[in-house]
Chains A and B, each alone.
Chain A
């Protein structure tokens, strides 16, 4: 028992050094953590803004697409010889699955 206490006493200095070193290391790691979190937040905001602008560009292209597909009307189809289907029948399993056909 006395030997253990003596051993602890002689290693006290080393323990203090280890403790202080750990505190310093933790501080450095913590600072890195804060810094990288902040950097990532700032970068995430930047990327959000870029995504926002890309989505706007995509929407403008979609509007062009809608304008083109809306040209395809019944009148337009008739110009090319298509006619509106009459005498339609439907086969359906349930509300979400239906097939149209005419005889």
Chain B
């Protein structure tokens, strides 16, 4: 009996302790519900203010970074309300309701009144992405005549700037995810797990456990890019001016750091606003600088000269060529752009005057194997690996040919089509002591778990040319730029290495168009320790012949802007 009493007491104590512990846990949850979130739950329970359904859309941010390190959100989110009506229970005066709504919202009158008449419906949305203050004021004014639903949506504050870089969110079937640009490339990092924080207590306790133990899941984070928003906006205004001035079919440009591949600005027109792109065609969303290939023409000539110097096949100090205005290669005749001959010219003059005949002569000095190898080293036969989706494949099949005419054409940039980003990456080898870098947009990811990852692409650098060759070609390109318009465009205190390109555009029915050109231009400065490569192109500008007419001034303007913005000291 005594023993039974003892057992009974022991069990009673165990049960008592268990009840006390559970009580503490319940009190903690009660504290959370009542004290921390009391107002919100009260309002939801009332059902008079915000409908209890909650859109838990969340997504990581994409940041641009200014020169001092200040971050600007280029892709963020906003919260507000959707407004709906319940036609079945609608008893208010429709005219009065419409009047109040139309003060602050853009609602079609006909649609509204026809929605009111649909008495078999209990839910019709009449407005979405309504800012909080406006939604709350409307609710105050109209009461139960309308319902508010909490809503969150993606916002791109720069209003279409760098739209090709950022991309946007869209539906593919039932999946709402990043389409194009960084939104797509970093979808796994940016998306957030769709967990409603107002589910039950134990779900909240355990909902992160799976992510902690699942080694295949990609951690969630925010992205910090190399894009400088001020440079991007300025550059886009220059590109827009080019398009407006010359009525071009398209325009594009890239500004990159040739030492590490960081891209400061990347833009193209036609453009679109990733906040509202309903009126745009799908072709506008393609990033032509990464996805499209072009025959870029004379802008390729410095690469040919550089590789000839580097391979030892030419000596720039002694090579001379008699330019008759045209040259025969196999069964073809290749002309200079104006079909005029200049007589005896050296390599500098071949570059200055962009002589196709001279380039054919230089290309003949290089063996085909060397030619292929250097093009491979320049990156023309492969993708750059830039962290944007759908990078285009360069068209370089003519390299496999043994016909001299193909190599002759390639020597002045025809017969080979590459993406603009491939070209800019290759240009870094001319500017950066012969080292080709990997272009990239993202420099850092900051994860929600507190860790971060900084990207370093230096292990992918390729030594294409010797530093001496890089210095020599830079010197020659400085002379090219200084000579434009008889010295009228050079910056007295800055050495700029640059080259224009005017290429014929292939006709899909064969040959090339007679009346359409692609203009291109690159420049890097300060020439012997460059901080920037600027590349511009424009397709089919109207009523103008040469790139020197369309692109030198915008380039010069961009160069001056960058020099001032980044406080680049003069180098001469």
Binding partners A and B = yes
Residues of A bordering B, CB below 8 Å: 20, 24, 27-28, 31-32, 34-36, 38-39, 41-43, 45-46, 48-49, 52-53, 55-60, 62-63, 66, 70, 88, 90, 92, 95-96, 98
- Partner pick for A53 among B28, B76, B204, B570, CB 8 A cutoff: B76
**Are A31 and B204 also in contact (CB < 8 A) when A46-B197, A59-B76 are?**
no
B326 in the interface (beta carbon within 8 A)? no
**Are A48 and B448 also in contact (CB < 8 A) when A55-B61, A63-B157, A63-B158 are?**
yes
Bound together, the chains give a CA A73 to CA B396 distance in angstroms of 43
Bound together, the chains give a CA A98 to CA B13 distance in angstroms of 80
- Partner pick for B569 among A34, A42, A55, A92, CB 8 A cutoff: A92
Complex interface bits, B209-253 against A, C-beta within 8 A gives 1, otherwise 0: 000000000000000000001100110010000000000000000
Q: Which residues of B contact A46 (CB under 8 A)?
A: 197
Given A38-B204, A56-B157, A98-B567, 17 other A-B contacts at CB below 8 A? A20-B13, A24-B21, A34-B205, A35-B29, A35-B32, A38-B201, A52-B61, A52-B76, A52-B77, A56-B61, A58-B72, A58-B73, A60-B157, A62-B157, A63-B158, A70-B237, A98-B569
Among all A-B residue pairs, the 4 with the closest Cβ atoms: A56-B76, A59-B157, A98-B569, A59-B73
Bound together, the chains give a CA A55 to CA B74 distance in angstroms of 9
Complex interface bits, B467-493 against A, C-beta within 8 A gives 1, otherwise 0: 000000000000000000000000001
Kindly name the residue among A34, A35, A96 whose own CB sees the greatest number of chain B CB atoms within 10 A.
A35
B20 in the interface (beta carbon within 8 A)? yes
Bound together, the chains give a CA A62 to CA B229 distance in angstroms of 10
Asked whether B229 lies within 8 Å of A39 as measured between CB atoms, the reply is no
Bound together, the chains give a CA A96 to CA B234 distance in angstroms of 23
CB distance from A95 to the nearest CB of B (A): 6
Q: Which residues of B contact A58 (CB under 8 A)?
A: 72-73
**Are A59 and B158 also in contact (CB < 8 A) when A42-B197, A90-B570 are?**
yes
Q: Which residues of B contact A49 (CB under 8 A)?
A: 58, 77, 79
- Grouping DSSP codes into helix (H, G, I), strand (E, B) and loop, the B interface class, with mixed when no group exceeds half, is mixed
CB distance from B325 to the nearest CB of A (A): 40
**Are A32 and B24 also in contact (CB < 8 A) when A66-B229, A98-B567 are?**
yes
- Partner pick for A88 among B21, B229, B493, CB 8 A cutoff: B493
Bound together, the chains give a CA A66 to CA B76 distance in angstroms of 18
Bound together, the chains give a CA A48 to CA B152 distance in angstroms of 14
Kindly name the residue among A32, A60, A70 whose own CB sees the greatest number of chain B CB atoms within 10 A.
A60
